[in-house]
Structure 1
Amino acid sequence: MNTSKMITQLKTIIPIVLGAAIYAFGLLYFIIPNHLMEGGVTGITVLLNYGFHIPTAISNLCINIPLFILGWKVLGSRQMIYTGVGIGAVTLFLWLFESLIDNGLFEPFKTEHDYILASLYAGVTLGAGLGIVFRFGGTTGGSDIIARICNRKFGWSMGQVILVVDIIIIGASLLFISKEKILYTFVAVYIASKVIDFIQEGAYRAKAFTIISDHGPDIADVITKEMDRGVTLIPAIGAYSKMAKHIVYCVVSRQEIRRLNSIVKAIDPRSFVIISDVHDVLGEGFREEKEE
């Protein structure tokens, strides 16, 4: 393996390992000490810990090994290599944090009354960890492998498979934890999903302007000269008037919204403007994508 290829792989593996560490931390620092739950196969490791005091690192590894082998055979090595990294990293950090807790070197957050705080922070840490892992092409194994296999073999929706697994596991948790804790768990799961989306879509958000006007070229010229932004003119025909016109498409930062609005209204007060959110904007004037 040449040096550049190794560096490229390290740029993927290191963030996956970091995300796995954050995820394991959230599980042992917020979820388990407060007897909350987690979805997916990880939820099984939590249940085994609650019911039989089995260390999460051991149960996580034992459950994921057969799933990983099955996934390797069905899905192939290319799809599973970073999943293997994720499983190994989560198991390693679960073992590390459990060892620190058992030896009194690490004090988890445990509360007797403020479970909403525990739920919020659990959602943020779990979501941040999983978001980083997913963003760099890895997974933590478990229900994700099951969902991929069901999708490949039976054509089932991955989202639906994961949802069914989550419902079964969280439902089974009623044998070990109260309904109140289940509701707090839903808060954590919801927050985690939002954090995952935020990391997946990118922290940078911009606005896309779609401007329908009889003075499209004039608007485009002013935007180009005064704002130094790229503009695309799209030929169009009005359905009612049958008149040819141009649609102006332009992406700007949030700080430039007011300025662009002013330019458009000054040139054509009757223009029709659609403003929409865009995520992860790449290109000149925004975030540049570096070549590997």
Structure 2
Amino acid sequence: MGEKDAEVESYHVGDAYEGDPIAPICEDQTPEEGQRADAVSDKRTRGYQGLAFFGMLNAGLLLTALAIVVFKTPNHLAFGGTSGVAVVLSTLFPQLPVSAFMWVLNIALVALGFVFLERRAVLWSAYASIALSAYVSLFELVFPISSSITGDLALDVCFAVLLPALGSALVFDIGASTGGTDILAMILRRHTDVEIGKALFAVDIAIVCAAAVLYGPRVGLWCILGLIAKTFVVDTAIESIRQRKVCQIICKYPHDVEEFIVRTLGRTATVQIGWGAYSGRRVIILTTVLTRREAMRLRLYVRQIDPGAFITITSSSEIIGRGFRGVN
């Protein structure tokens, strides 16, 4: 094959390609269709706002508070963070519940945040810290639990890890945080050269060691496992929520697929002109990034119009650009 055969030219939907028999479908879009597509893309880019943002934030905090009251406190599971410190302190000072210590710790961290950080930077973290303390107090009244509700420590540890992980994933996905030690992390990041991850991990280890001394090696070892599992489960939950599908399609009817992506799915695509290494024939390669549901619809459509189409679909949790939220 010569140099010409090795060339691969690319253009985006809407760009002209001289001599290409498959015209970009955006040339046929009406102004109304173009405005509607832009509005949909802008909405996706902005992500959660207003009531949706507030609802997602509180849903994540409610799951975290439920885990603290129902699973962590009765079993003395101190995985770290303000809740771990509160569990330990409630044992040392049994006159006060876990929620009381969470109020004290979170208010202290919020005060430090307003002193050492810009008000805008700490505002939502301050709200999350106070709201989480309030939800813990509420659940302590609704569920006055003093012992394990399942009688199985292993099962309680699982839910003590899973519920906050899901809550954190919901909160992080909208670009917020659950407050507490996140405020401490922001302060360290701004005013010191301390490696934040190592500093916070050292604090968590100290809390786990205190739990092992107070509650015995059995609970201490479960706390260590919970601390390790929390890191992996939170990361997995966040990646699962943010996961998108990168799709590449080579088929007989690329124009129809391009039209389906733009007009039916409300997405866009990149079109590449390539050549098959074995056949030497020119092919049209469509690349697009979709949600899981959209990828399934695209796959079914392509298989319907061309059963012999070549489709590759890969997962990605980091998609940055217009049409996808900036928090990704």
Give the alignment's TM-score, normalised by structure 1. Answer: 0.70
Distance 1:225 1:21, change over 3 A: closer
Counterpart of 2:121 in structure 1: which amino acid? Q
1:14 offset after TM fit, Å? 4.0
Matches within 5 A, 1:12-23: 12-23=53-64
Q: 2:118 aligns with which of 76, 97, 104?
A: 76
Farther-moved stretch of structure 1 (108-117 vs 125-134) = 108-117
The residue that corresponds to 1:147 in the other structure is 185
Select which of 45, 53, 76 maps to 2:86. Answer: 45
Closer, same or farther: CA 245–152 of 1 in aligned 2, 3 Å: farther
5+ residue gaps, structure 2:
1-48, 277-281
Distance between the aligned counterparts of 1:150 and 1:48, measured in 2? 24
The AA in structure 2 aligned to 1:130 is S
Q: Aligned partners of 1:27 and 1:114: how far apart in 2?
A: 16
Deviations 1:88-122 (CA, angstroms, capped at 9, x unpaired):
11211222233345xxxx44661686211111111
| Superposed displacement of residue 173, structure 1 | 2.0
In the alignment, what sits opposite 1:171?
A: 209
C-alpha distance in 2 between matches for 1:60 and 1:98: 12
User: Residue 50 of structure 1 aligns to which amino acid in structure 2?
Assistant: T
Q: Is the 8 A contact 1:150 1:158 kept in 2?
A: yes
Query: What is the CA distance between 1:36 and its match in structure 2?
Result: 1.8
Aligned to 2:102: 60
Counterpart among 66, 78, 92 of residue 25 in structure 1? 66
8 Å CA contact retained: 2:77, 2:84: no
TM-score (norm 2): 0.64
**What does 1:5-16 correspond to in 2, within 5 Å?**
9-16=50-57
TM-superposed CA distance for 1:264, in Å, is 8.9
Point out the structure with max Rg over C-alpha: 2
Cα distance, 1:232 vs structure 2: 1.1
TM-superposition CA deviations, 1:217-272 (whole Å, max 9, x none) = 9674363367766531246899xxxxx9875413452465587589899467xxxx
- Tell me which residue corresponds to 1:231: 269
- Alpha carbons of 1:235 and 1:147: their partners in 2 closer, same or farther (altered >3 Å)? farther
Aligned length: 264
Alignment partner of 1:115 is 2:157? no
SS in 2 for 1:176: helix
Partner of residue 139 from structure 2, selected from 90, 97, 103: 97
> In 1, are the aligned partners of 2:76 and 2:88 still within 8 Å (CA)?
no
Asked if the contact 1:232/1:250 (under 8 Å) is kept, the reply is: yes
Q: Which has the higher contact order (CA 8 A, sep 6+)?
A: 2
Q: CA 1:226 to 1:153, structure 2 compared with 1: closer, same or farther past 3 Å? A: closer
Instruction: Answer yes or no: is the 8 Å Cα contact 1:147–1:162 preserved in 2.
Output: yes
Q: Separation in 2 of the partners of 1:255 and 1:195?
A: 29
Give RMSD over aligned pairs: 4.1
1:127-177 deviation per Cα after TM superposition (whole angstroms, max 9, x unaligned): 233333333444333321221111112244443332222122222222112
Letter in 1 for 2:255: D
Q: How does 1:192-271 map to 2 (within 5 A)?
A: 192-193=230-231, 196-197=234-235, 200-201=238-239, 203=241, 205-210=243-248, 220-221=254-255, 223-224=257-258, 230-234=268-272, 248-251=286-289, 253-254=295-296, 257=299, 266=308
Q: Identity of aligned pairs, percent?
A: 23
2:168 aligned residue: 130
Q: Give me the whole-angstrom Cα distance separating, in 1, the residues matched to 2:204 and 2:193.
A: 19
Distance 2:269 2:171 in 1: 35
Distance 1:253 1:30, change over 3 A: same
**In 1, Cα distance between the equivalents of 2:211 and 2:81?**
12
SS in 2 for 1:208: strand
Range 216-225 or range 160-169, more displaced: 216-225
Check 1:69–1:235 CA distance in 2 against 1; reply closer, same or farther (3 A cut).
farther
- Answer whether contact 2:63 2:163 (CA < 8 A) is retained: yes
The answer to whether the 8 A contact 2:125-2:177 is kept is: yes
Q: 1:45, CA displacement in angstroms?
A: 0.8
- Secondary structure of the corresponding residue to residue 215 of structure 2: coil
TM-fit CA distance, 1:280:
9.0
2:247 is paired with a residue whose SS is: strand
Q: CA, structure 1 residues 237+66, in 2 after alignment: closer, same or farther (shift >3 Å)?
A: farther
Residue 36 in structure 1 maps to residue 74 in structure 2: no
Q: Offset at 1:182?
A: 3.0
Q: Which amino acid is 1:73 matched to? A: V
CA–CA separation in structure 1 for the residues paired with 2:225 and 2:239: 21
Give the 3-state SS of the residue equivalent to 1:37 in structure 2.
coil
